[in-house]
Structure 1
Amino acid sequence: MAWIMLLVAGLFEVVWAYSMKQSAGFTRLLPTLVTIVGMVISFVLLSAAMRSIPLGTAYTIWTGIGAVGAFLVGVAVLGEQVNTMRVIAAVLIVSGLVLMKLSAE
């Protein structure tokens, strides 16, 4: 269950990162509210997952999901640049996440 909470926490990190971008520096109310709610949910789930997952593992996986997820949303939704270096960077992050998960078992 802790791993599911961690995954969902990472997905909410992507939600709040995207909505923060949409808030235009917290000048738009609805995206600002989504950012705040997303942050709270993400942190609560991360905290709950850390009850049974080591700090280093949980935090690394949470930030990795957020980083790769934000990259994918940026490309797919916001039309951000895709190039070889950015794709390799994302692959390396995912590789690190897999290794971190395997090391926690």
Structure 2
Amino acid sequence: MSWIVLILSGVLEAVWATALGKSEGLTRLWPSVVFLAALAVSMGGLAWAMREIPTGTAYAVWVGVGASLTVGYAMITGDERFSLVRMLLILGLVGCIVGLKLVGDE
């Protein structure tokens, strides 16, 4: 269950990062509200997952999921340029996240 919560918290990291960018320095109301709500739930989920998942692993997975989805979303919406190299790097990041789960707490 901790891994599911951690992944969902990573998804919410992408939500709050995107909303923060759209908030124009927290001057637009609804993106700012989405940012604050997603931030609170994302951090809460990370903290909850870290009760069973080691800190370094949990943080790396949380950041990796959030960063991958944030960049992927930005490329899909046209906010960032798409390139094959960027896509391969994101896939490499996702591969490392999966690797962290697979090696577990050896």
TM-score class, shorter-chain normalisation, is over 0.9
Percent identity, please: 35
Report the Cα offset of residue 57 of structure 1. Answer: 1.1
- Cα distance in 2, alignment partners of residues 12 and 96 from structure 1: 20
Structure-1-length-normalised TM-score: 0.94
Report the Cα offset of residue 75 of structure 1. Answer: 1.1
Structure 2 match to 1:60? 60
Structure 2 match to 1:38? 38
- Cα distance in 1, alignment partners of residues 77 and 63 from structure 2: 20
Report the Cα offset of residue 79 of structure 1. Answer: 4.0
Q: How does 1:4-83 map to 2 (within 5 A)?
A: 4-83=4-83
- Mark the runs of 5 or more structure 2 residues left unpaired by the alignment: none
Amino acid at match of 2:37: V
| Number of equivalent positions | 105
Report the Cα offset of residue 78 of structure 1. Answer: 3.8
Structure-2-length-normalised TM-score: 0.93
Amino acid at match of 2:88: I
Q: Deviations over 1:14-41 (max 9, x none)?
A: 1101111110111101111110111110
Q: Deviations over 1:50-89 (max 9, x none)?
A: 0001111111110000010001110112442111221121
- Mark the runs of 5 or more structure 1 residues left unpaired by the alignment: none
- Over the aligned positions, Cα root-mean-square deviation in angstroms equals 1.1
Report the Cα offset of residue 102 of structure 1. Answer: 0.9
Amino acid at match of 2:81: Q
SS of 2:11 mapped into structure 1: helix
